[in-house]
Structure formats: structure tokens, C-alpha cells
Homo-oligomer: A and B are copies of this chain.
Amino acid sequence: MPVLSPSSQRPVVILVETQLGENIGMCARAMLNCGLEELRLVTPRDGWPSASARATAADADRVLEGARVFANIDEAVADCDRVFAATARQRSLRIPGLDLPQAVAELRAGPVAADGGAKAGILFGPEASGLDNETLSRADRLVHFATNPEFPSLNLAQAVLLFGWEWRQQCCQASAEAVTPTQPRAHSDGSLANREEVQVLLNRLEQALAHSDFFPSPEQRPHTVRALRALMTRGNLSSEEVGLLHGVLTALSKNETD
């Protein structure tokens, strides 16, 4: 029997603003079919816990019972070293897009923290609309599912299943080949900054920019912040680099506290 990664290294499935409890239940079942157990929910529309989720989970109760609910996306990904986002559409955020097999290969390749606890999360959006740009800008990678272009739209639990299945297949294959693939790291030293570190930096930059009247109008502000976030996220900053950028910000913003 192939040995999967320790549970601490298995990706976390994060369902954002899911509308139907039934779909959450089906996602839990699909996850457990593939050996994924950690589920997070960002403001599920019909509340939590959910009787309809339990009804469709087909005994994947431990996934539902372990699910954690978050008030917003930033809290949900705060401890994640990497965040991937499932989306059907190409967006204009300039975040690298990968096909599902590539995405899983990249997820599996690491980085792994010194304690083996590096966390990766994958976001799935609401049934009707998918993830919006605001949420996608938190992602390191967009994950595309190469479905039939004439009929591309996957049911939520189907998308979760394909992700889990691909992850499981690659783990089993690797285990069968008894090979540990190693991918070149984004940086040769320094641990990857987690989401919270990047967010703190971004918040500080946003404040400094607001203080300097950088935003021409309140309407443009979210768009600009998203662009900056996408840019920082794409760079796979290390904690050391985040520290460097704080230093830069301090140096440049001497008028910040004027």
C-alpha cells in the first residue's frame, strides 16, 4: 500500500462562501476518498454546522467535525505557506496559472519547513460565481482544470475530487517508484514567508501609501492593493525578504509618522 505524506503535509481544502451545505458534505466525502482530511470554510452561506452537509457526506464525518470556520479569507490562509486557487477562468492578475497535474506536482515538491509542517492550501469558490479577483489575489498559483472547453464548468465537489485524486495519484506513483522528487527551491536559503507575514507587510504598505495620498480615488484603492498583493505573492518571499522590505518601507516612509 502506498504511503501518503504525513497529514501535516497534505494540502488543506478551503471552501470560500459555499452556498449549499449539500456541496460541503460532498466535498468532505470526495476529500476522504482521496485521503485529504483538513477542511476549512470561509463564511458558508447557510451557516455551520450543517445538517445537509452531514446528509451528503456519506460517513465522512470526521472531515466535517474537524472543519474550521473562518470569518474571512485572510484568517483562513494565515498559517499557509502557499496558497493555490482553483479557477475556471484566466484572470488579469498576472498570477501564474498551472494545469492540475502541474499544480499538484508543484505542491508536492515542497517547500517543506524544517519541522515538516509547511502548509499548503487550495481555495475553491462559491458554486455560482467561483472565486472573485479579491480572493484570487491571495494565491500563489491559479489551478486550471482542463475540462471540455465547450462545457467546462465543474460541480464544486467534482473539482475537489479531481484535485484530491490527482494529489493521491501522484503520491502513490511517487511512492511506487520509491523516488523523492526534489524541485529547485524559489530561494536557496530562508524559509518561505507565510500568508500572515506578507499580509502584515501589505497592510503597512497600504497605510503608508494612503498617508502619502497615493490613491487617486477610494474606488481605485482595492484594485491597486490587489495588484500589489499579487505581485508580492508571486515572488514567494522568504521571511528574511519580508524583513528587508519592512526596512525599505521604514527608510522610505520617514514621513509615515510625521
Contact = CB atoms under 8 A, between A and B. Distances in A.
Total copies of this chain within the assembly: 2
Contact of A58 (B32, B33, B153): B153
Contact of A154 (B33, B189, B209, B236): B33
A37 B29 CA distance: 26
A2 B209 CA distance: 46
Contact of A60 (B151, B235, B252, B254): B151
Interface in A147-161: 147-155, 157-158, 161
Nearest to A148: B35
Contacts of A101: 169
Interface string A201-244: 00001001100111000000000100110111011111001001
Interface stretch (A41-49, A74-82, A90-98, A115-123): A90-98
Interface in A1-53: 1, 26, 29-30, 32-35
A133 to B, nearest CB: 13
Nearest to A30: B158
A238 B26 contact: no
A112 interface: no
Nearest to A59: B151
A187 interface: yes
B148 A209 contact: no
A190 interface: yes
Given A152-B33, A224-B244, A254 B212 contact: yes
Given A97-B188, A161-B162, 11 more contacts: A32-B148, A33-B153, A60-B151, A90-B188, A96-B186, A186-B234, A213-B251, A231-B235, A231-B237, A231-B244, A254-B255
Interface of A: 1, 26, 29-30, 32-35, 58-60, 90-92, 94-99, 101-102, 146-155, 157-158, 161-162, 165, 168-169, 172, 184-190, 205, 208-209, 212-214, 224, 227-228, 230-232, 234-238, 241, 244-245, 247-249, 251-255
